[in-house]
Amino acid sequence: MTELILSLDVLDRKQAVSIAEACAPFIDAIKVGYPLVLATGLTIASDLADLALPLIADFKVADIPNTNRLICEAVFSAGFDAVIAHGFVGADAARTCVEVAHKHSGAAYIVTEMSHPGATEFFHGGVAERLAELAVSSRADGIIAPATRPERITRLREIVGSKAIYSPGVGAQGGDIDTVARLVDGVIVGRSIYEAEDPGAEAERFSRIRR
Ligand code: NUP
């Protein structure tokens, strides 16, 4: 089964909770990033906790090991179940995120290649492959790979094997859900769901990938 992960990038607490509630029967996890946390604070995790869905903090953590540790401790103490971190800061810094996640019985995912057009500027030419290797060696739980470039997901899968691959970039960024769903463990969808007139109905439509 391919998971459907809702990327909840709205800026209002009430709206976030109501969209999450409407989508909850059709999704496997909720990803929250800077837009919603900067607008509401980390307490948004408690507001979403009743839905009993895994909460992923998409903070793309990218600092020195000690600061990464402080950030990840705050994330897991707030009630998140997973964190997304960058790997380009190096193995020691990425490993810190993994260690804190595992200490809290949570998960850490490493970004290998981003989904937007400009990502090819730095991630291509072997960097994404090295980041995938780093995800394996640092015992991360999985990677983030671009739904906008399925051929890159296939390449990165060769490196990470059975580790989870979660993929943003379908819908609003142009990625095709059916193509990507066959290649990954979870598809991350934001605007196509939360900007829809009926987010619950749209989540249900996307949730066919779970079958
Ligand atoms: O490479 C990435 N691309 C990407 O879009 C890594 C990400 N974490 N994201 C995030 O996924 C992005 O910040 C947003 O929260 C979500 C995609 O949202 P949407 O394009 O479906 O609206």
Instruction: From first to last of the 211 residues of the chain, give the pLDDT tens digit.
Output: 999 999 999 999 999 999 999 999 999 999 999 999 999 999 999 999 999 999 999 999 999 999 999 999 999 999 999 999 999 999 999 999 999 999 999 999 999 999 999 999 999 999 999 999 999 999 999 999 999 999 999 999 999 999 999 999 999 999 999 999 999 999 999 999 999 999 999 999 999 998 7
Q: Which residue, chain included where needed, has tokens 């401790």?
A: 73
Specify which residues 167 forms β-bridges with. 187
Say if residues 83 and 57 touch (Cβ distance below 8 Å).
yes
Distance CA 35, CA 114 (A): 18
Coil, helix or strand at residue 42: coil
Global ipTM: 0.99
Atom of ligand 1 nearest to the CA of 113: 1
What is the model's pTM?
Answer: 0.98
Q: Mutation test of ligand 1: which of 9, 10, 86, 112 has the most ligand atoms closer than 8 Å to its C-beta?
A: 9
